Structure 1
Amino acid sequence: MTTVLVVDDSTVDRKLVSGLLARDTSWDVISCENGKEAVALLEPPLPDLIVTDLQMPEMNGLELVEMVKEEWPFIPIILLTAKGSEKIAADALHRGAVTYVPKRRLGIDLVNAIRRILGFVEADKHSMRLNHYLCESSQIFELRNDLEQLEQLARLVQKQLRCLPLGDEAERLRVSLAFEEALRNSCLHGNLEFDDVSELGRKELLQAINTRVSQQPYSRRHLRVSISIDRASARFVIWDDGTGFDHQTLLATAVLDDQEHASTRGLALMRTIFDEVTFNEIGNEVTLTKHAMTADDFADEE
């Protein structure tokens, strides 16, 4: 059974999150009030995933992220963000949290976010160790506007990233999830021109996609993805057939806890995790680059 640790000093929020997760009978949900109590619970058997608030007494979410990354880097952490916590959330993502969910969207996004992450972790358990010895890989894909295809490609990338020194397993997971976020943005907002689908659950989103891809001009549009991975860096280029967007304005204003558009939150996540994020002039091509950690980077973490 999968164990999820929920950390939140608000009794109401802690019970809300625990109740949402308890609906999945394959998850064993445990909870505590702050980071200090969470650390005390981190003994074998360890939880498979941690969901934590940011602003707490004793030890806040940022401090908890730092300690878990140092001692248990294989445990993914999801942040719960509130309006006004954008800066500390960005710091926590830089320091090792995998992703985040705004508190106002718990009922819509949290369970799906956990399932996505656990799906990556489970798929990775069956990854061949041969990927550690990969020296260089270059691939080009042409994909339909199909979320399942995008998820499969992101999981393939996660396995191939084993050859790139990124510091720990959590960083490889973070890069893979941010790459999937970029694919989803290009599909949903580029090719299919949805303005905002953040209020849709997965079932409703899939229905909306099926309707849109049966219409012109969307039915003719595809995603082309170039993936280049070696021991020095990973470089991803994603092209869509859409009309583009004002990427300069959105990149300048994108924040983690945007209350209106999930797409701008996705851009903020990509910008936080990748070392370089660039668009072509019209905005229908994005290039994402992640560099290997250097000896100096490893020294800075010690």
Structure 2
Amino acid sequence: MPTILVADDDDRDRNRIGAILERDPSITAIYAVDGAEALAQFETAKPDLVLTDLQMPIMNGVGLVHAVRQKCGSTPIVVMTSHGSQELAAEALAVGAASYVPKSEADYELLNTVQHVLTLSTRRAVAPLPVELKQIRRVYVIHNDSQLITSLVGHLQENLVQVGLCDESDQIRFGVAIEEALINAMIHGNLEIDSDLKEQDSAQFDSLVQQRRAEQPYKDRKIEVEIELSAKQATVTIGDQGLGFDPTTLPDPTDPENLEKISGRGVLLMRSFMDEVQFNESGNQVTLIKRKT
């Protein structure tokens, strides 16, 4: 039964966010009206995830992200963006937030994002090995199945623990980046579905995903994942069997205005959380590199 701490100074937004979270009966939401109150509640309630607005009095969302990271790096934080807060959102991702959701897309994106981040944050535990593990090299091939993607991401997070590459917070952010890359490979690569459809009609988008997972030529396409992990660096290469795209058309991750768009959100998170993100010329393979800090 996860507990979500929601911080937002706007009564209407707070109530709307609470109603969205309550669509999942397993979630318990608690509330704060600013960053300072949220930090006090964080220390007493020990929530499983913090969901925060960015523009708040006393302590804003960026200050809350930084304070929570200092107190408990294993608790994930998701920030909610709105018009005028994009630069704060970029700063929040830089200092430790695990993901973000535009408030304008909360009805469709919020609960899904919270559930995914919770899953990634609760799959970290792994028994320590009795020997020192120097390096891991593996190749995986998976079908177009979101559950397989979630399982593989959890497995890769466990590998990070085994080689001692990063702390708990960065394990979550690594998981978010890899999951976004795998989802892009499935949806935009193998199934050839444009993210613009998701913004226009989310129900039609979901229906087309299910349809193409069952029909040719899409259903037989695979995702190949090659990983190389050491105590100094993680390199993950993800390839799909779709038609590819022109990587030069990707949105600029340094432009805060892109935080208000659903299209390109995955690539923006990948580039925020990884040290390098490199696409091949045809756009059907991406290599993500994370170095030890």
One fold, TM greater than 0.5?
yes
Alignment check: 8 A CA contact 1:53 1:81 kept: yes
Residues 155-186 of structure 1: CA distance to partner in whole angstroms, max 9, x if unpaired? 111111112332x3111101111100000011
Residues 175-201 of structure 1: CA distance to partner in whole angstroms, max 9, x if unpaired? 111100000011100111101253566
Distance 2:129 2:208 in 1: 39
Identify if the C-alpha distance between structure 1 residues 8 and 101 changes in structure 2 by more than 3 Å, giving closer, same or farther.
Answer: same
Residue in 1 that maps onto 2:191: 192
Matched, 1:136 2:126: no
Aligned-pair CA distance for 1:268: 0.9
Residues 77-117 of structure 1: CA distance to partner in whole angstroms, max 9, x if unpaired? 00001133222211111100000111011111111112112
Residues 133-161 of structure 1: CA distance to partner in whole angstroms, max 9, x if unpaired? 43211110111111111111111111111
Residue in 1 that maps onto 2:278: 278
TM-score (norm 1): 0.88
Moved more, 230-239 or 205-214: 205-214
The CA RMSD measured in Å over matched residues stands at 2.2
Distance 1:268 1:91 in 2: 13
Alignment check: 8 A CA contact 2:76 2:98 kept: yes
Residue in 2 that maps onto 1:265: 265
Instruction: Spell out the pairing of 1:158-197 with structure 2 (5 A cutoff).
Output: 158-162=157-161, 163-166=163-166, 168-196=167-195, 197=197
Tell me the SS of whatever aligns to 1:42: helix
Matched, 1:120 2:124: no
Distance 2:58 2:96 in 1: 20
* Letter in structure 2 aligned against 1:113: T
Distance 2:226 2:268 in 1: 22
Tell me the SS of whatever aligns to 2:281: coil
Alignment check: 8 A CA contact 1:256 1:269 kept: no
TM-score (norm 2): 0.91
Moved more, 207-216 or 149-158: 207-216
Identify if the C-alpha distance between structure 1 residues 206 and 85 changes in structure 2 by more than 3 Å, giving closer, same or farther.
Answer: same
Aligned-pair CA distance for 1:4: 0.9
Number of residue-to-residue matches in the alignment: 290
Distance 2:291 2:253 in 1: 25
Tell me the SS of whatever aligns to 1:158: helix
Aligned-pair CA distance for 1:46: 0.8
Aligned residues with identical type, % of pairs: 38
Alignment check: 8 A CA contact 2:86 2:260 kept: no
Alignment check: 8 A CA contact 1:256 1:265 kept: no
Tell me the SS of whatever aligns to 1:218: coil
Tell me the SS of whatever aligns to 1:124: coil
- Unaligned segments of structure 2, at least 5 residues: none
